[in-house]
Amino acid sequence: MQTAKTLTKNDVLKSWFRWYMFAQSNYNYERMQATAFAHSMLPVIEKLYPDKEDAKAAVQRHLSFFNTEPICGAVIHGITIAMEEEKANGKPITDGAFNGIKTGLMGPLAGIGDTLTQGIITPIMLAICIGITNNQNLAGPIIFLIAQFAIMTTIQLTMWMNGYTYGKKAVEQILEGGMINKVIEGASILGTLVMGGLVGRFIPLQTLISFDVGQVKFNLQTDLLDKLMPGLIPLALTLIVLSMVKKGVSPIKLMGILIALGAVTGILGIF
């Protein structure tokens, strides 16, 4: 009887580490991340296919076009490793099945990954750590680097191992059940709250208008606006900019308008 070919956790981790280090290496317009994908699969292929020709065929089938978000998309690699293990043990899995899994999942997972990593996690961490740095605290960039490393590594490794452990069915259940949409929606709301709360801190805009009322000098900012609602002017400016963005005004034009207004109102002593 033929001995079953099995992968150890160390084999799977070796494969993950290669993807972790080289996911965007040799990124090209012909096959995007294909060479990085094949490179990450080498520890698995070497373990499962001692025959040189079988190993060459395995590498070849992972050189097809591949492109996804490297963090959340790592679940595809886990699934592929599980399929390679099954194929090495005699299961009739074709090269087309591998390509079908990759092409079917890389698009949806790229959208999910871009939303979570680039649209939510990174902006929130930047907002928090820039706030720390603005107080001349060197801990800001250090915390950002450590937190980004820890968060992204944890997500990627978790996706990788779960893909290997649970396979394609788990991913399909998550995508079809709407669970991931709830996670994204909740994270988006959290991100909006954090960014909204930081508006007053990152836009320290105040009016300089003051005038005499009898023998008392009345300052519009401290004597009225701050008592009504601290940060009222930054909030108003943010809402105006948001409304202009919704109307289709380009960010470049908006920046030009803000710079011009800032210069004029500063010279006139209004803000």
In this prediction, residues 238-264 reach a mean pLDDT of: 88
Three-class SS of residue 219? strand
pLDDT (tens digit per residue) in 71-129 = 999 999 998 998 888 888 888 888 888 888 888 888 888 888 888 888 888 888 888 88
pLDDT (tens digit per residue) in 33-85 = 999 999 999 999 999 998 899 999 999 999 988 999 999 999 999 989 988 88
In the predicted structure, residue 1 carries a pLDDT above the cut 60 = no
In this prediction, residues 134-148 reach a mean pLDDT of: 88
In the predicted structure, residue 179 carries a pLDDT above the cut 60 = no
Report DSSP letters for 48-111, one per residue: H--SHHHHHHHHHHTSS-B---TTTTHHHHHHHHHHHHHHHTT----HHHHHHHHHHHHHHHHH
Backbone angles phi, psi at 207, to 5 degrees: -90, 145
Residue with tokens 């034009």: 253
Instruction: Give residue 200's pLDDT.
Output: 65
DSSP assigned state of 3: P
Instruction: Give residue 170's pLDDT.
Output: 57
Bridge partners of 66? 32
For residue 135, give both structure tokens. Answer: 């107080």
pLDDT (tens digit per residue) in 198-244 = 666 667 788 888 877 777 788 887 778 877 877 788 888 888 888 88
Instruction: Give residue 17's pLDDT.
Output: 95
In the predicted structure, residue 177 carries a pLDDT above the cut 70 = no
Q: State the pLDDT confidence band at 194, using cuts at 50, 70 and 90.
A: low
Residues 6+ apart with CB under 8 A from 43: 11, 14, 15, 18
Burial class (CB in 10 A: 0-12, 13-18, 19+), 47: buried
Dist. CA 11–CA 7, nearest whole Å: 6
Q: C-alpha distances in angstroms, 172 versus 90, 101, 159, 238?
A: 25, 11, 14, 40
In the predicted structure, residue 193 carries a pLDDT above the cut 80 = no
DSSP assigned state of 1: -
In the predicted structure, residue 130 carries a pLDDT above the cut 80 = yes
Identify residue 89 by its one-letter amino acid code.
N
For residue 261, give both structure tokens. Answer: 């207004």
Asked if 4 and 148 touch (Cβ cutoff 8 Å), the reply is no
Q: Which of 60-69, 168-177, 181-190, 198-207: highest mean pLDDT?
A: 60-69
Dist. CA 9–CA 81, nearest whole Å: 12
How much of the chain exceeds pLDDT 70, in percent?
86
Three-class SS of residue 155? helix
